[in-house]
């Protein structure tokens, strides 16, 4: 061992001596030459690396709009800031009535920053509709703003405002990521996409293809519920002065292999918030638990998806009483609170390559059922339109993997007022 270390040290000394500009003479040995060639090959490799990086970052800068930060050299380093975005425009032609509408559904920007190899910041800002003001519908919202620290592939910690890992759409909701102009009803009414909470999460991957994400976050406040047709959605707090007397926990597990995704998640927490927004909810738990299972299977050009989601709200009659009292005081129309809500869909698409374009016809069948806690004496009734099934048929036409033109027809089984043809465009970058 000692002999080997010694001869290695001698070789290092010799090779470093030769590599740094020494000349070859008659006294140079074969060993010296080997060391010299090896050192020169390494230097050549380093130069080629830098040339490749330079050429790549030059063409990358030509392609993307990412700005270079003030303190990084223009040509050598990839920018630590990233800008991305997505947006969608939609036009709907209703089969019944005069409600045809065109809308800039959303305009979103992503900003990210890499502090170092372990720590990064991600954020998402959304503007709903063309104009957001106190007189217009729609909001400007921060949908994500969180820091993520990576200890290893298997162990990462995130904290801030982040998306809850349930469903297929919630975490990946950009227009080219789903079929059809509008997000499906199940992942709008049952899983309240885009659903985000503030808190702490631990996530990572293990095995070959498994990923997990668990955490503690803010939750819903049932005192803020104002629309039972979207399940628990209107009780969301969006980390805006959120009442945090009751927190929630979540967990998700997914498995990915080429052409296959299988997974599920669960979220649970009390929503009474100790009566913070409605004093009649003090001492009411109103626990909300929502879980889903989902799968995506992509053999060759086919793309199949299926999802089932189910939620429940406990103490629904006490929630009813509290909401009724508030409605009487504020002179608004009372409604029956949702107590059990579920939905599922199956979807199939075929991706046909047409040169640089892709044409993807698809069909989707979905059902949702929001069961409300009736209180007939007080006029709190189940709305029959809160249980429906929808058939959607259409096509996505990708003029670029990140830009899509969409056309579809939706037929609602019960709520035929919603039957419509939709046309939309969407992009992401």
Partner 1 sequence: MQGFRWITGPAITLSALSPCHAATYLTIDQAQAALFPGETLVLQQRILTPEQIKAVEASAKSPVRSSELRVWKSFTGGYFFVDQVIGKHDLITFALAVDGDGAVKGIEILEYREAYGYEVRNAKWRAQFIGKTHAAPLTVDSDIKSISGATLSTRHVTEAVRRLLAVYAIALQP
- Residue ranges in contact with partner 1 by CB under 8 A: 1, 41, 44-45, 48, 51-53, 55-57, 59-60, 63-64, 66, 78, 82, 84, 112, 114, 117-120, 122, 148, 150-153, 155-156, 172, 177, 204-205, 208-209, 256-261, 296, 298-301, 351, 353, 358, 401-402
Query: Closer CB to partner 1, residue 15 or residue 298?
Result: 298
- For residue 136 the two structure tokens come to 């217009």
Report the nearest approach of partner 1 to the CB of residue 20 (Å): 21
Report the nearest approach of partner 1 to the CB of residue 211 (Å): 9
- Count CA atoms closer than 13 A to 62's CA, side-chain side: 5
- For residue 275 the two structure tokens come to 């009566």
- For residue 75 the two structure tokens come to 């040509």
Report the nearest approach of partner 1 to the CB of residue 277 (Å): 35
Query: Closer CB to partner 1, residue 97 or residue 259?
Result: 259
CA 103-106-111 angle, 5° bins:
160
Query: Closer CB to partner 1, residue 91 or residue 255?
Result: 255
Neighbour count for residue 101 (Cβ, 10 Å):
10
Helix 2-19 / helix 30-63 crossing angle, nearest 10 deg: 70
Query: Closer CB to partner 1, residue 5 or residue 70?
Result: 5
Q: How far apart are CA 149 and CA 153, in angstroms?
A: 11
Query: Closer CB to partner 1, residue 220 or residue 362?
Result: 362
**Adjacent-strand bridge partners of 83:** 111
Report the nearest approach of partner 1 to the CB of residue 163 (Å): 12
Report the nearest approach of partner 1 to the CB of residue 262 (Å): 10
Report the nearest approach of partner 1 to the CB of residue 351 (Å): 5
Neighbour count for residue 328 (Cβ, 10 Å):
11
Query: Closer CB to partner 1, residue 257 or residue 376?
Result: 257
Q: Is 404 helix (H, G, I), strand (E, B) or coil?
A: strand
- For residue 404 the two structure tokens come to 């899509």
């Amino acid at each position: 061992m000692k002999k080997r270390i010694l001869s290695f040290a001698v070789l290092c000394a010799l090779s470093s001596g030769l590599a740094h500009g020494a000349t070859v003479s008659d006294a140079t040995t074969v060993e010296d030459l080997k060391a010299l060639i090896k050192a020169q090959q390494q230097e050549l490799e380093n130069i080629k690396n830098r040339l490749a990086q330079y050429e790549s970052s030059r063409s990358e800068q030509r392609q993307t709009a990412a700005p270079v930060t003030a303190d990084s050299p223009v040509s050598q380093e990839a920018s630590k800031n990233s800008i991305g975005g997505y947006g969608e425009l939609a036009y709907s032609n209703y089969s019944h009535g005069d409600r045809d509408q065109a809308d800039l559904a959303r305009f979103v920007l992503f900003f990210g920053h890499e502090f170092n190899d372990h720590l990064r910041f991600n954020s998402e800002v959304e503007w709903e509709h063309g104009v957001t003001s106190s007189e217009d519908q729609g909001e400007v919202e921060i949908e994500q703003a969180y820091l993520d620290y990576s200890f290893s592939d298997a162990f990462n910690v995130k904290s801030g405002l982040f998306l809850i890992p349930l469903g297929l759409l919630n975490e990946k909701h950009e227009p080219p990521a789903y079929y059809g102009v509008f997000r499906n009803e199940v992942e709008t009414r049952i899983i309240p996409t885009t659903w985000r909470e503030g808190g702490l999460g631990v996530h990572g991957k293990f095995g070959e293809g498994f990923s997990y994400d668990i955490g503690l976050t803010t939750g819903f406040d049932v005192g803020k519920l104002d629309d039972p047709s979207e399940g628990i959605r209107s009780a969301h707090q969006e980390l805006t002065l959120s009442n945090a007397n009751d927190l929630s926990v979540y967990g998700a597990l997914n498995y990915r292999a080429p052409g296959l995704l299988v997974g599920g998640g669960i979220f649970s927490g009390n929503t009474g918030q100790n009566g913070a927004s409605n004093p009649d909810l003090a001492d009411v738990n109103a626990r909300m638990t929502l879980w889903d299972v989902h799968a995506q299977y992509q053999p060759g050009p086919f793309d199949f998806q299926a999802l089932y989601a189910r939620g429940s709200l406990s103490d629904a009659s006490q929630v009813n009483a509290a909401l009724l009292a508030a409605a009487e005081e504020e002179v608004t129309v009372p409604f029956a609170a949702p107590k059990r809500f579920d939905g599922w869909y199956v979807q199939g698409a075929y991706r046909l390559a047409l040169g640089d374009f892709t044409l993807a016809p698809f069909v989707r069948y979905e059902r949702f059922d929001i069961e409300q806690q009736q209180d007939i004496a007080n006029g709190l009734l189940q709305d029959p339109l809160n249980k429906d099934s929808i058939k959607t048929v259409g096509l996505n036409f990708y003029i670029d993997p990140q830009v899509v033109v969409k056309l579809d027809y939706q037929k609602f089984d019960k709520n035929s007022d919603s039957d419509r043809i939709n046309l939309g465009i969407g992009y992401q970058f």
